[in-house]
Amino acid sequence: MTTALHWQTEGQGSDLVLIHGWGMNGAVWQQLLPLLTPFYRVHWVDMPGYGHSHDISADSIEEMAQLLLDKSPMSATWLGWSLGGLVATQAALLAPERVTRLVTVASSPRFAAEGTWRGIQPQVLDDFRRQLGDDFQLTVERFLALQAMGSPTARQDIKLLKQAVLSRPQPNPEALSIGLRLLADVDLRAQLGGITQPWLRLYGRLDGLVPAKVAKDMDQLAPLSCRQIFAAASHAPFISHPEEFVQTLKDFIK
């Protein structure tokens, strides 16, 4: 049985850690790597329960962050997409000396809608959790479609995301269920004041999972951070707009 997370490293320059989202694996960054590796030493991981880390489990966002910190560079920029952004944020809180810069992509400290807080309706997350028991592959495919919804290149986005999922072992159904529970329950809003390192927040204006209006709410919760909204992107701007995405990242790290 695998006892360590599956990491890959390529490139030269300052260290950059990439963390994928729910239902995915490290292959989701494949399209981006040729644009990043000439400038950065890129480290990308299969999260617990996903891809080649299929046999590893983590029950909490803190445990996930600690597992990644255990084998990550001593000092790096951390970039997390969607659920991965939540993990990267937790890592920045746990080890600010290790996470020297934070980049969150289409992510939120509280994914579920609550009161006036914008997010995914809890009923949607509950439905996905119930569907997992019946047909988890179909559930993941539906989630991929939801991530690309609104993007002008939705069909191509879905194709690239699906290729990444299918290129590695299927995610562990238990890890998928845990991930949906974390998306429904985790709330880091009250802790964001503890993040003092440079922080870039990236959003897609057409995102149906993390509404772009969350960016304005986050301006109040994390006033030291900066943000950019990709006008024609949905939940995966690095898939639909890779060159613009990488240029924004380079400008931030520089």
State residue 107's pLDDT score: 98
Identify the active-site residue in 15, 207, 217, 241: 207
Identify the active-site residue in 6, 43, 54, 235: 235
Identify the active-site residue in 6, 15, 54, 82: 82
Check if 75 is active-site. Answer: no
State residue 129's pLDDT score: 86
Say if residue 49 is exposed, middle or buried (CB neighbours under 10 Å; 0-12, 13-18, 19+): buried
- Give the residue numbers of the binding site for substrate: 22, 82-83, 143-147, 235
Helices (H) and strands (E) in the chain, counts: 10, 7
Contact 234, 204 (CB under 8 A): yes
State residue 1's pLDDT score: 42
Check if 151 is active-site. Answer: no
Q: What is the pLDDT along the chain (254 residues), one digit of tens a residue?
A: 447 899 999 999 999 999 999 999 999 999 999 999 999 999 999 999 999 999 999 999 999 999 999 999 999 999 999 999 999 999 999 999 999 999 999 999 999 999 999 999 999 888 888 888 778 778 888 888 888 888 889 999 999 998 998 999 999 999 999 999 999 999 999 999 999 999 999 999 999 999 999 999 999 999 999 999 999 999 999 999 999 999 999 999 98
State residue 74's pLDDT score: 97
Give 171's DSSP letter.
Answer: P
Give 222's DSSP letter.
Answer: -
Check if 207 is active-site. Answer: yes
Please identify, in words, the CATH class of the domain defined by 6-253: alpha beta
State residue 133's pLDDT score: 77
Backbone dihedral angles phi then psi of residue 200, each to the nearest 5 degrees: -110, 125
H or E stretch including 6?
Answer: strand 6-11
Contact 209, 120 (CB under 8 A): yes
**Burial track 222-247 (b if 16+ CB lie within 10 A, e otherwise):** beebebbbbeebbbbbbbbbbebbbe
State residue 132's pLDDT score: 84
Q: Where are the alpha helices (DSSP H) in 121-172?
A: 122-134, 136-148, 154-166
